[in-house]
Structure 1
Amino acid sequence: MGSPLGPILADIFVTNLETKLNKFSTNKPSLWIRYVDDIFCLFTKKQDIDDFLERINKWHKNIRFAKEEEIDGKLAFLDVLVIRDNTTNKYVTIVYRKPTDTNLYLLYDSNQCRKYKLGLIRTLVIRILLICSTITHKDNELTLMKHTLKTNGYPDHLIRRGICEGEVIVNKINNKKNNQQQKTQTKQNIYFTLTYYGLESTILARRIKHIIQKFMPLTNINIAFKKSFTLKNIFLPIQKGKDKTTKDKKLVYKIPCNNCNKYYIGETNRDKPTRMKEHQKDIKNLSDSSNVVKHAIEQKHTFKFDQAETLTFESKWNRRVIKESLYTHQSLDQSLNDVKFKLNVFG
């Protein structure tokens, strides 16, 4: 399940499998609810659960379903704890926490954007309000959440604000379910990422949003922040050691011609010696896709591969290609290769 496609493929596969459930005429669960590969079923006391489990385990040779039965009228399904109330003959749902839960969340003192900390509170509130089926359980969970957030350093005013915003979102969700009508979204969503350095990053994001709303009213820009300076970035290179060869890779280079003032400008993700060997191999094999080979054949010239010059280093491919194009444009037709990106700055 490590691949991003894992849950999607698992959902498609199990969806195809559970179509066989329609062939069951007897000993069939009265309720079958599935999320990816987790299934919640309801059986009557007269039904044989072991027989049902044995039958569905024959659906595919590589699939083996395991069962987990209720204990004292309680059964956990994902992050929901389902409780069977025999007195009222109803089911009650509350938030389920694993025995290993430590109540440790994003600390308020951590170097993260404030909106993420507020978003954490909203998420916890939404989960509580949507999962808990009774007012009593909702109040108990909210009280526990407040205590946990205070332990993680969150101030009271931020907790109150998060609770209010979470309640507003839940009300909107419930209203949409009741009306069964969702408003069509006319604005175009654009997602943008900024590196988080502190309050300055938040101010910059706010200004960008203001400018976009002013000049592009039909565009809704969503700005997210990524971490820049973490303990992992500090200590992991020290622990594992740095790869000294990486500093000689991902570059823009220039190869001068040995017989005229022309030269070739290129970019590579590898180191320069490896790329030079590839050019020499192309000349030997008379590759028709190389400008170096074309010049060598038409003019009968040779190149000074041992005098190839590194113009700049750039780790990102798109920036590296743009820099290659800039150097090519500045060559005043001395370069053998064409400009890959004809930017507006070139005229």
Structure 2
Amino acid sequence: MLEFCLNNAYFMFEEDLYLQTDGLTMGSPISPPVADLFMESFEQEALLTAPNPPRIWKRYVDDTFCVIEREHLASFLTHLNNLRKDVIKFTYEEETNDQLAFLDILVKRKPDLSLDTAVYRKKTHTDQTDTTDEPRPNATVILPYVAGTSEAIRKVLRKKNLCVYFKTTNTLKQQLVQPKDPIPKDLQPGAIYSIPCGSCDQVYIGETGRTLKKRTSEHQRDTNSGNTQKSAVAEHVWQNQHDIDGDNTKILDMNTKWSERKFMEAWHIHSTPDNFNRDKGVDIPPEWNRLFKRTSDQVN
């Protein structure tokens, strides 16, 4: 199973499907442990075959702290980069003023060549702490920010001694950073769709838990073979000698939950009286009829 997952890392880019043949997939849950196993194997080989290995070698993920004679530093770096030059490359940072930061630790070299450690703080660290005597809130609430509404909500919740923070739902990162190509809707499961007739003004409303591309291909197959029992689209074509306008098939809504998708299909059927569906979908309370009529009038 592990071999299958590692050798079948498919991804989509600009609507084309690719297979990753080198490296590990970003975001995959198996990538971190496999990468760590690789690093363990790599460092064992590197230290055993090095002419002048370091006296200390400590690694955390991909950061390594080592103590080595300065005269052997360049040759050891070359040795590391020659082992897997097509996969991994090492760089280094030397100590300054007998000290070196490693992760959150500041390692100091004492005159007797022993090592001492301290907490490493970046230059931007302010060392400021909260010294106010105000009572602590009972709880913290994080809500989406809505201009004009969030301020009023905060005012009410503060009276209940609740600390309120707001987050934006439309950040610059969300707009600009898209590491993965979005999957086209017709390749996503769970669609409510409409297929228009090319010879009249009627449409067919349908739903599928699979992809729209798969479902429309089934409609086309049944139409070509004359299988009118399986497809209302095929029945409409053969009974009326009409043609289906498949190029203008539309996705009306997306939902992967069966019950919600069936209700949304029925909603669109009721809101589109000029359809050639065989039935009206799931039962919807009659109280909704006025809203269906209003929606239909707006569409028309």
Please classify the TM superposition score into its range, dividing by the shorter chain length.
Answer: 0.3 to 0.5
TM-score of the superposition, structure 2-length normalised? 0.48
If asked which structure has higher relative contact order (CA below 8 Å, sep 6+), I would say: 2
Structure that is richer in strand per residue? 2
Structure that is richer in helix per residue? 1
